[in-house]
Amino acid sequence: MGEQQQVKFPQQVIDEYAALGVDLPALFSAGHLGTRMGVQILEASADRVVGTMPVEGNTQPYGLLHGGASAVLAETLGSVGSMLHGGVSKIAVGVDLNCTHHRGVRSGLVTGVATPVHRGRSTATYEIVISDEEDRRVCSARLTCLLRDARPGDEPPARPAAG
C-alpha cells in the first residue's frame, strides 16, 4: 500500500482551499479505513473522481473481492466528489449507498470512477462504476450525500505521519 500518490485537483479548487490554509490531499484522502484497504485517489473534481484499490487483502472467505470493500471504495469516491461540489462551506455526509455486484475478482487492482447524477444545494448523488483490470464492470454503486453547513470542529483530525 506503500507511498501516497499525489491527487490531481483542478487549479481553481487548489487555490480556493489554499487560501483557507487547507491541505487538500489530507482533507480528501481515503481516510484511515481507505488507507488500510489500499485505496488511492488518483483524480478528484466535482465532475469526476477516480480511485483504485487492490483486491489482495480485501477479499472474503471464497477469495473474491469483498462486497464491503467495493462499498468502501464507492463511498470514498462519491464522498470526495460531493465534498468538492459542496465547497469549503459544506460537509458531505453519506445518507444512502446502494451497491450491485456484477462479477467476482480474485486478484489485481479495481478502479472506481464517480460521476455526478445530481448536484444540488443540500444533496449530491454520484454513480460509481468499479471495474477490473480488463475494464469489466465489477460493481455499480450510487451514493447520496447530505451537504450540511460546516461548523467549527468539522475539520478532519491530523493524519499520523507515515513511517
Query: Is 75 one of the annotated active-site residues of the chain?
Result: yes
Backbone angles phi, psi at 8, to 5 degrees: -90, 120
Q: Which residues contact 10 (CB under 8 A, 6 or more apart)?
A: 45
CB 54 within 8 A of CB 1: yes
Backbone angles phi, psi at 18, to 5 degrees: -60, -35
> Looking at 16, 43, 56, 75, which residue is catalytic?
75
Q: Which residues contact 87 (CB under 8 A, 6 or more apart)?
A: 16
Active site members: 75
